[in-house]
Structure 1
Amino acid sequence: MENIILTSINLQSLELIIQKSVTAAMAVSKPETITNETEQTFSIQELANYLGVTKPTIHAYKKRGIFKYYQTGRTVFFKKSEVDAALAIGKTKG
């Protein structure tokens, strides 16, 4: 970090410096945020269709902890990446 000595600075210059710093900091962290927001999720019915099983089967898998799930109120959803990872682990186990 550079050592900068300021003898005087007006409000507009200070605002500009802060704005540039915040914009640069946000640009660094933005790609990770976009990745998380666009992750595909499944409802119980969508996951049943994806796996070719029935809704009661998905409920049984959920109860047994085979797939990690998220719940908001009464809405349950599964992340596709986590479902695919659980399926890959299941294939390697036998």
Structure 2
Amino acid sequence: MAAKFKLKPNPTFKADVTIPVPGDEPGIVTFTFKHRPIKELADLEKVEGKHISQFLLEITEGWALPDEFNQENVEILLDNYPRAGEAVMKAYYAELLGNREKN
């Protein structure tokens, strides 16, 4: 059954993010993303000198990990898994723009 369409979307949505793990199979983490209108998202992207962790905190609300979702832990994620930021942003934009990958 198709989802009921509404002009104003839900403020958050969930998506699985596949994070590359060096020397092992990728890990999958479910993130709760904040729905941002395109105009607002464009403004968030323009801020120069912003660290990727700050941008991720502006587009995400949480994750399905036992570790608390906060700036320190987001930075630990990015430090330990260098491609995690790219993976999170790719999943966010794919969901937001309706470009889901088909299995």
TM-score range, shorter chain: under 0.3
Structure of higher RCO (CA pairs closer than 8 Å, 6+ residues apart): 2
User: Based on CA coordinates, which of the two structures has the bigger radius of gyration?
Assistant: 1
- Of Structure 1 and Structure 2, the greater helix share is in 1
- Of Structure 1 and Structure 2, the greater strand share is in 2
The two structures have a TM-score, normalised by structure 2, of: 0.24
The two structures have a TM-score, normalised by structure 1, of: 0.26
